[in-house]
Amino acid sequence: MSNSIKISHTEARKLAISGQGLSGNENNSLKIIQQLGYVQIDTISVTERAHHHVLFTRNPTYHQKELSELMAAKSIFEYWSHAAAYLPIADYRFSLHKKELYKDGDKHWFPRDKKVEKYVIDRIKAEGALQSKDFENPSTKNNQWYEWKPAKIALTNLFMDGSLMIANRKGFQKIFDLPERVLPPDLNLSIPTAEEYHQHILFNAIKAHGLVNLNEIIYLRKGIKQEVKKLLNKMVESSQITTATITGINETYYTNNQLISSINNTQNDGNKRIHILNPFDNLLIQRKRVKEIFNFDYQIECYVPEKKRKFGYYVLPVLYGDEFVARIDAKADRKEKIFYVNNTWLEPQFKPTSKFINEFSNKINEYAKFCGCQSIKINKLSFFAKSKD
């Protein structure tokens, strides 16, 4: 294509890190969610849950109550991105595309039971917001037809098709309510056309990642590849976006000239930031992309059988500047308020300096405090004695 540009790995990494909000500090968590497009919700709390960790990485003033506060303020909402996620409320209408598909018969995880769903909706209409535990049957004396499990399935299906929303959470338990009682007034509720939906995911992907290829844009979204491909060609021809290639990678990427100009105009102050990333961080979630652009082969091993793990159950990657340099196996014992660093692995190409070691130690301290720990116990950090200074 005539307006395609060539960029180096370094430039590609700068674009990715800048789009991910990792090149500077932002003290507004809502702005971070808007920039990223979503923050994944996850239950695993070996150190800190993903949704909190991702925001803390980018906003050092973040506290764990903020997401609940943003939900209460109707600034964000819960729905499905590639997984369960918090999304900006301004993007709500684009969730209607998937919800309509479920209403029209697309299946999620569970079969539908209209009788149980009507019962659930009627109770929430009459009683207000409810949790799944509110549908437990305390007694079987009356031999009632409903049980807790069918009601929980109904809540999930009604949430996926948009008949219910998650108003907030209590602890980590979802509180369900009717959309009209959750959404802010005057919100655009028009269902997007297929092209509007495809444009939305395209622009969000470029904004959040700096440059993306077709498969990254449609990641875990079925049945839209050909339509998105047509849209990409159309937008390149109209110069709304541009194609790019990365040296050494046989792939077409998409970005825009403003982003390319921004990395060319960025002054390098010589200071490299250290980030301890969550395994579900937005930067990491597409393994192939991370390997190609950052030359970092990372897999979340909590889903890998223990005997087949190379590193550990919940290993945190360490980003230093635009390079992944280490991995740490850590665990937060909140009861004893101890943060355990069980093991640390350096990437083969990285030789730590004393400056890095000092900054990395400070970063571990900061993260341990965020996880509610007051002391740190380190088992394996032997490389600290092997700096290249």
Asked if residue 307 belongs to a domain, the reply is yes
| CA dist list (Å): 268 to 261, 322, 363 | 14, 12, 22
Asked if residue 232 belongs to a domain, the reply is no
**Backbone dihedral region for residue 274 (phi beyond 0: left; psi -120 to 50: alpha; all else: beta):** beta
Asked if residue 125 belongs to a domain, the reply is yes
pLDDT value for 265: 65
Asked if residue 376 belongs to a domain, the reply is yes
DSSP states along 180-247: HHHSPTT---PPPPHHHHHHHHHHHHHHHHSSB-HHHHTTT-TT-HHHHHHHHHHHHHTTSSEEEEET
pLDDT value for 103: 87
According to the 3-state scheme, what is the secondary structure of 279-311? CCCCCCCCHHHHHHHHCCCCCCHHHCCHHHCCC
Kindly report the CATH number assigned to the domain that includes residue 123: 1.10.10.10
* Residue 158 DSSP one-character state: H
Whether 322 and 307 have beta carbons less than 8 Å apart is answered as no
Kindly report the CATH number assigned to the domain that includes residue 362: 3.40.630
Q: How many domains does the chain have?
A: 2
pLDDT value for 164: 98
| CA dist list (Å): 166 to 98, 156, 235 | 16, 10, 36
Q: Can you give the residue range of the structural domain that contains 336? A: 283-382
Q: How do the pLDDT tens digits run along the chain, 389 residues long?
A: 446 899 999 999 999 999 999 988 789 999 999 999 999 999 999 999 999 999 999 999 999 999 999 999 999 999 999 899 999 999 999 999 999 988 887 777 788 899 999 999 999 999 999 999 998 765 444 445 445 589 999 999 999 999 999 999 998 899 999 999 999 999 999 999 999 999 999 999 999 999 999 999 999 888 899 999 999 999 999 999 999 999 999 999 999 988 888 876 655 556 789 999 999 999 999 999 999 999 999 999 999 999 999 999 999 999 999 999 999 999 999 999 999 999 999 999 999 999 999 999 999 999 999 999 999 998 865 454 343 44
pLDDT value for 84: 94
* Crossing angle of the two packed helices 148-160 and 92-103, in degrees rounded to 10: 120
Q: Is 144 exposed, middle or buried (0-12, 13-18, 19+ CB in 10 A)?
A: exposed
| CA dist list (Å): 284 to 135, 165, 179, 320 | 38, 28, 32, 14
Asked which of 124, 159, 183 is the last residue of a domain, the reply is 183
Collapse the DSSP code of 9 into the 3-class scheme (helix H, G, I; strand E, B; otherwise coil) and give the result.
Answer: helix
